Amino acid sequence: MRIILMGPPGVGKGTQAVTLESHLNVPHVSTGDIFRALLRTEDPIGIEVRKYLDHGLLVPDELTNQVVTTRFREQDVHKGFIFDGYPRNVFQAESFDKFLKEHNWTIDAVVNIAAPDEDIIKRLSGRRVCPTCGKTYHLESNKPKVDTLCDVDQTPLIQREDDKPETIKKRLAIYHDQTKPLIEYYSKQGLVITIDGTGTIEKTHDLTIKALGEIK
């Protein structure tokens, strides 16, 4: 199966990708991993990418598309994949479609794990971390034993900048801006499956498997 996984930050997309990978027996491919692997080599595409990263610049879409296709030199993705973090916009999606078409491959589904912004803000803003040992907590689902002190070393817990409601709202706004046209693009191809991501990890996984089973 060839799947593209989408979902806002904080919806648990990474966790779902891992469970889906073992369930469907196809590799979970994240663009972050492809970039890191490529940068370890002397591949000309990697050298080109490094020029941008060294200057703190965003890698252009054209180059990102090339980077992604390098992953297809490895056989494991020929039987299927779960793509995560790509395509990020319509231009990348069109280019990826073209690449797939050249190889007579098609996407089976675009799995869109969705949850209302308020849910995500509530989930993420409850996270706390111990600045001493790095242990993480959640004020609702994984509370420290005493007040807001670390169980291990009693250090007062802190909230990471990334977990503050204002930061989460900004990230969500960017996500929606980028994703809306992409969802429309894949909806026109009849590929989008929206999964309710508000429940537990297991529940979301079950819903995903059930929905994928129906398209087979």
Per-residue string for binding with Zn ion, 66-105, x by CB under 5 A? ----------------------------------------
**ω into 87 cis (within 30 of 0):** yes
By CB under 5 A, tell whether 62 contacts Zn ion. no
Instruction: List the catalytic residue out of 71, 123, 127, 128.
Output: 127
Active site residue 2: no
Dmax (CA) of the chain: 59
By CB under 5 A, tell whether 133 contacts Zn ion. yes
Rg (CA), the chain: 19
Residue closer to Zn ion, measured from CB, 109 or 150: 150
By CB under 5 A, tell whether 20 contacts Zn ion. no
How far apart, in whole angstroms, are the C-alpha atoms of residue 139 and residue 137?
7
Sign of CA dihedral 74, 11, 113, 87: negative
By CB under 5 A, tell whether 158 contacts Zn ion. no
Q: Are 155 and 135 in contact (CB under 8 A)?
A: no
101-117 burial code (b ≥16 CB/10 A, e <16): eeeebebbbbbbbbbee
Smallest gap from residue 52 Cβ to Zn ion (A):
38
Smallest gap from residue 137 Cβ to Zn ion (A):
9
Active site residue 160: yes
How far apart, in whole angstroms, are the C-alpha atoms of residue 128 and residue 102?
48
How far apart, in whole angstroms, are the C-alpha atoms of residue 28 and residue 19?
10
By CB under 5 A, tell whether 173 contacts Zn ion. no
Residue closer to Zn ion, measured from CB, 133 or 201: 133
Give 201's Cβ-side CA count (13 Å radius): 10
By CB under 5 A, tell whether 189 contacts Zn ion. no
Active site residue 128: no
Instruction: List the catalytic residue out of 36, 79, 101, 160.
Output: 160
Residue closer to Zn ion, measured from CB, 157 or 212: 157
How far apart, in whole angstroms, are the C-alpha atoms of residue 154 and residue 149?
5
Among 121, 150, 157, 212, binds Zn ion (CB under 5 A): 150
Residue closer to Zn ion, measured from CB, 53 or 152: 152
Residue closer to Zn ion, measured from CB, 100 or 149: 149
Comparing CA positions, the residue from 20, 179, 19, 2 lying closest to residue 104 is 2
Active site residue 171: yes
Instruction: List the catalytic residue out of 2, 88, 122, 169.
Output: 88
Residues 103-132 that bind Zn ion (CB under 5 A): 130, 132
Q: Which residues are catalytic?
A: 13, 88, 127, 160, 171
Binding-site ranges for Zn ion (CB under 5 A): 130, 132-133, 135, 150, 152-153
